[in-house]
Copies of this chain bind each other. A is one copy, B any other.
């Protein structure tokens, strides 16, 4: 008998039939003796539909009101789910984030959890009731409704699992688990039975869409056992573990991301403070800068390249262009035709051969590398967006990611 938090994403509660399928699963599990706590996202495209309504009414809706509006999606889904479970003879009760005890800060549309007082949830579980909690929501100290942001239901589930001392947390999505590459573009992509927190973090930070990175970070820091599963196949999926890094390089996956653009500020003086000045200005405008590369200095001047989300490129260009004289830069340019491919795995820093093999593989396929950055468990290359699919496939082949780790050459 286990105490389990199960989170169901939007596609797994998209309509009455899907909600019933989830309810059926929950009731079986409950009758099997497990104690189940559910966290649900908004149904299908509900959040987008609500945002469309908001944009019909205002070019710049107040964040507080957006939160009141959007959290209604999860609230609706959790009430419906509680009805569906009750209809199968197991008592279920829905809870808003506030009712479930989620106290957050007041950063509307992207609130952070401050504290959870889950007494209503633990009381319900003790009474044999299945609590169904609205995901991605809470209440601020000012008693306003807050939204944790897109993908926040994963965070709700992990935080709740920690708060109630659940044995583990299952994140049910529309994919069967974590793959060695995007199965939509790599035929041989392999479903990974296990992945480490660090690897999964790097994967979600570099293009792997599920689960939400923030939830993985939270699970990692609170040591919450995480399972990524499909609400369509109900197969075991991927277990996220706290596995030790091996001495030998073990490549887990290749991910890709086409949501970013590249910016280059050229010919700036290679002296302290210049980069700080630039990135402070971008940070003040909430530009989400990623992957920064500063090229080798030649004659005391240097080029700084970095990536930003495509939809922030125009703003970032405006800011950098406005600072061009201050920075002493010769030019500022942007490029939204790029993609990033990332190789994820343990032990890469101490195995330089991995990076070399990655660059050789891309070169052999005639794919030019425009930027490189590495972490302890990731190597990222910026390439032309048109080359993405080919790059992911040749890398997946080169590192034999379709084979279980112990069967690679």
Contact = CB atoms under 8 A, between A and B. Distances in A.
Interface of A: 16, 19-20, 23, 50, 53-54, 56-62, 64-66, 68-69, 72, 75-76, 78-80, 82-84, 86-87, 92-94, 96, 99, 120, 143-145
A30 to B, nearest CB: 16
Contacts of A94: 64-65, 68
Q: How many copies does the complex hold?
A: 2
B143 A99 contact: yes
A69 B82 CA distance: 10
A65 B99 CA distance: 14
B83 A57 contact: yes
B16 A53 contact: yes
Nearest to A69: B79
Contacts of A66: 79, 83
A75 B84 CA distance: 23
A60 B120 CA distance: 24
A108 to B, nearest CB: 12
A72 B69 contact: no
B57 A80 contact: yes
A72 B76 contact: yes
Q: Which of A76, A92, A145 has the most CB of B within 10 A?
A: A76
A87 B143 contact: no
Closest 7 CB pairs of A and B: A58-B87, A69-B79, A16-B56, A68-B79, A61-B83, A57-B84, A58-B83
B65 A87 contact: no
B64 A93 contact: yes
